Amino acid sequence: MMHASRQRWIPLGVALVMTAASALPALAAPRKDEALWKAAEAARPEQLKLLETLVNIDSGTGDIEGGTRVLDILAPRLEALGARVERVPAEIPGLPDNLVATLKGKGKAKILMIGHIDTVFEPGTAAKWPYSATGDRATGPGVGDEKGGVIQAVVALEILTARGFRNYDTLTLLLETSEERGSPGTRALIDRLVKSHEVELNLEPGDAPDKITVWRKGSSTFNIDVKGRPAHAGVAPQEGRNAATELVHQLATVDTLPKSGDGLTANLTIIQAGSRYNIIPENARAQVNVRVRDKADLERVQATLEESARNTRVPDTKVTVSRENSFPPLPENPHTEALAARAKAIYAELGRELGTGGNGGASESALAHEAGTPALDGLGPVGGNFHTDKEWIDLTTITPRTYLLMRMIQDVAARPPKTFRPAG
């Protein structure tokens, strides 16, 4: 019991408002589509079986045979829905075809989903590290990034089509085969598709504990090439100009840049030098992967590296800096936030809370945003440790995320967002 001397007096007007508020009935929770949820639950065993099948097929970027095998499994399922399925040749050599599946409906909205079937893993990985499920976790090469999301999209389309959902003008699924290298085999195709649709939903995995992605860093790789002079390492080393030694000097500048965090990061990923143990290296190369929230940071990094290149330590060596751009950043923006708000409301139908966040992984959603098409990312199953031999997904999110994707398709079909003119 509160002591009388510590009682807190509430003004009469406020008390009346509080009393009235307490008398109001509680707001009803958003209503779950029970039939849609049961359909997602019923599809789960086949969904997981298909996931195991695809994870156990190596399809690293550039693996034409493996990528083709994956598409050969998915294409008939999409054709069975009445979709027009096209194999679109990659825009550069050495990559499998891309796949575009298009469904035509009776509504007005034009909805695009994008997923990628390529992984970062080398041929032979699946044999050594096949799909495995223990408890609530599944592991395997590409299980989250992003075969889980790709299969989720196929299953979502199967369920919606079986239920007679056609409240859209165009519903397109792009399965591309070079995202892990910055989509060099699909840039023109992506540009055409994002400009001809009103919204892009991306099948990249969600982040733990249960988030969708509302911002992403952009990605570029800087090449630092050093030209020196070869010489016999034992007889006349003084006649050589060691490119590897100069490269080490250049990398000291790279070391001054941030390595982690939500802003700019620059990390050495590949280093090459020398041809034989008894020859002074004539050539050396380093590749530095740079991630940015602000595109202007790329120019600042380039200026820093080029300034360093003009100040060599090993005489008569030449340093050249070049840049390979992958994806631009997906900035925090009101169009993505509006889609995220819809997703949160849908997830609440399941009694689940959907978080939002961002990360340093780049994706095609940034290209959609730059084209003026609202984009929402990270709609696949929740996972982590991507690009490593510990990659995993949370199996408890398979059915909720499938439901979320289906309801998002329904929601944006009923209320398509407006495209916008991108800044700049």
Q: Which residue among 52, 58, 97, 179 is the active-site one? A: 179
State the Cα–Cα distance between residues 39 and 34, nearest whole angstrom: 9
Instruction: Evaluate the omega torsion of the peptide bond into residue 205 and state whether it is cis, within 30 degrees of 0.
Output: no
State the Cα–Cα distance between residues 114 and 266, nearest whole angstrom: 28
State the Cα–Cα distance between residues 258 and 266, nearest whole angstrom: 6
Burial of 347 (C-beta count, 10 Å sphere; 0-12/13-18/19+) = buried
Coil vs helix vs strand at 330 = strand
Q: Which residue has the tokens 């409301």?
A: 345
Residue 118 among the catalytic residues: yes
State the Cα–Cα distance between residues 47 and 400, nearest whole angstrom: 13
Residue 158 among the catalytic residues: no
Q: Which residue among 52, 118, 169, 246 is the active-site one? A: 118
State the Cα–Cα distance between residues 241 and 318, nearest whole angstrom: 10
Non-local CB neighbours of 156 within 8 Å, separated by 6+ positions: 402, 405, 406, 409
Other C-beta atoms closer than 10 Å to the C-beta of 100 total 22
Residues present in the chain in total: 424
State the Cα–Cα distance between residues 422 and 401, nearest whole angstrom: 29
State the Cα–Cα distance between residues 172 and 163, nearest whole angstrom: 18
Other C-beta atoms closer than 10 Å to the C-beta of 337 total 14
Annotated active-site positions, please? 118, 179
